[in-house]
Amino acid sequence: MSPVALGQPTVGEEELAAVAEVLKSGWLAGAGPTCKKFEERFAKAVGTQHALATSNCGTALFLGLKVLGVKPGDEIIVGDYTFPATGHAVLQAGATPVFADVRPDIWSADPAHVESLVTERTVGILAVDVAGQPGDFDEYRAIADKHGLWLFEDAACSAGGTYKNRPAGSLGDLAAFSFHGRKGITAGEGGALVSDRDDLMAHARKLHTYGIEPAFSREGSNELPIPEFHEAGYNFRLSEIQAAVMNVQLDRLPDLMSARRSVAKRYHEAFEGLAGVEAPTVLPDREHPWQAYILTIAPEISRGEVAMKLRERGIQCNFGTYASHVQPVYGKDVHLPVSADIFRRHLAIPMHSNLTDTEVERVSEAVRAVVGELS
C-alpha cells in the first residue's frame, strides 16, 4: 500500500486558476495588488487591523523584533518547545533568548516560569502556539503589563485556532504566521506579520521592502515620486504568485480546519485508554487548528522503535519539535525538565485535511499494534 503522508497540502484547480491570473497580469513581484488583497483578507481572518505578507515566518519574526526596537543586550523570554526559528530570530536581531519551560499538557510556556525569568534586561515575551494551540495569553499579558514588556505571538502553526473566542494572531502586540507546506494553509512557503499597532506596522512595511514604501503604493501617481532611504531594510516580500495561492487557501480555511478536527477526533477515540501512548490535550477555552497531531510515548517504550515500525507499515511519522535549550547554537547551561522530556518522547503522526477515513483507521490500527507489541 502507498505510504500515509505525515503532512500534505490541499491544493487544486482553484489555486492553478489564481496563479494563471497573476501570470497574465504581468505583476509577479511581491507587495503588489494580489499581496494587498491577501493582506486585507488575512488581517480580517485573524482579527487584526494590519497584516503584512512576508517570505516566511522567520522573516516575520525578525521583522517584528526589529520594529519593537530590540537591541544587543536585551533579553527575550521564549517558550522553549519550538522549532528553533523562534530562538534564531532573537539571535539574528542581536538579543538573547531566555528559554522558559513549558506546560506538560499543551506544551506552551508555563506562565509561572516565564515570570520567574524576568530581569532588568528583559524587554518582551515571545510565546509560541505549539502545534497551533494558543498558550495562556491572559496570563502572559498580565506578566507583560506588570513588568512593562511587549508580547509577541509566534503563531506559525495557528491559522484557524482560537483562544477564548479570539483568533490566534490577535493575542499579542504582534504575531507571526507561517505558510510552509505542512501548515494548515500554505503556499509552499511564506508568512505574515500581523498587529493592531499602526506605528509598528508602518515601520515594518518600510523595512520589509528595503526601507521604502513598495512600488505598488506609488502606482497611479500623476507625478514621479522618488522614494528616499532613511534606514537599511530587507527584501522580505511574498511573491504575487504565492499571494494568489494564499487567497484561495483563505477561502478553503473553514473546510480545512473542519477536516483536521474530524481527523483529530477520530484519533482521540482510537487512542483513548491505550496504554503506552498519551493523546494531545485540547483545552476547552480554545480551538485547536491541528497543524500536527503529536503523541507522547511512555518513557519505557522506545520512541525510535515505534517510529521505525510505523514506517515499515507505511505510516510516515517524525519527532514533535525541539527543546530549544539543548541545541548547541544557543550555548545554554540550563535544564528545562518538561521540555526536555517531551522532546525525547513526542511522535507526530499523519495529520492533514486530505486524510481519508481508511487512512485514519490504518494509522490508528498501526499505532495500536506497534505500541502493543513494544509495551
Question: Annotated catalytic, 309?
Answer: no
For residue 369, the one-letter residue type is A
Q: Where are the domains of the chain?
A: 13-250, 253-374
66, 164, 183, 265: which is the annotated catalytic residue?
A: 183
207 neighbors 67 (Cβ within 8 angstroms): yes
Residue 229 CA to chain centroid, in angstroms?
32
Distance, first Cα to last Cα, the chain: 26
CA 80/CA 65 separation, integer angstroms: 18
CATH of domain 13-250: 3.40.640.10
CA 76/CA 19 separation, integer angstroms: 39
CA 237/CA 30 separation, integer angstroms: 5
Query: Which stretches of the chain are assigned E, i.e. beta strand?
Result: 50-54, 75-79, 96-100, 122-128, 150-154, 162-163, 166-167, 174-178, 191-195, 277-278, 286-287, 293-297, 346-349
For the stretch 288-300, pLDDT in tens is 999 999 999 999 9
Q: What is the pLDDT of residue 43?
A: 98
Asked whether this chain's domains 13-250 and 253-374 adopt the same fold, the reply is no
9 neighbors 186 (Cβ within 8 angstroms): yes
Q: Which cell numbers hold the place of 169?
A: 494572531
pLDDT tens string, the chain, 375 residues long: the values are 899 999 999 999 999 999 999 999 999 999 999 999 999 999 999 999 999 999 999 999 999 999 999 999 999 999 999 999 999 999 999 999 999 999 999 999 999 999 999 999 999 999 999 999 999 999 999 999 999 999 999 999 999 999 999 999 999 999 999 999 999 999 999 999 999 999 999 999 999 999 988 877 777 677 888 889 999 999 999 999 999 999 999 999 999 999 999 999 999 999 999 999 999 999 999 999 999 999 999 999 999 999 999 999 999 999 999 999 999 999 999 999 999 999 999 999 999 999 999 999 999 999 999 999 998
Strands 293-297 and 166-167: unpaired
154 neighbors 79 (Cβ within 8 angstroms): yes
Mean pLDDT score across all residues of the chain: 97
For the stretch 184-215, pLDDT in tens is 999 999 999 999 999 999 999 999 999 988 87
For the stretch 301-342, pLDDT in tens is 999 999 999 999 999 999 999 999 999 999 999 999 999 999
Could you identify the residue written with the cell 485514519? 360
Which is the CATH superfamily of the domain at 253-374? Aspartate Aminotransferase, domain 1 (3.90.1150.10)
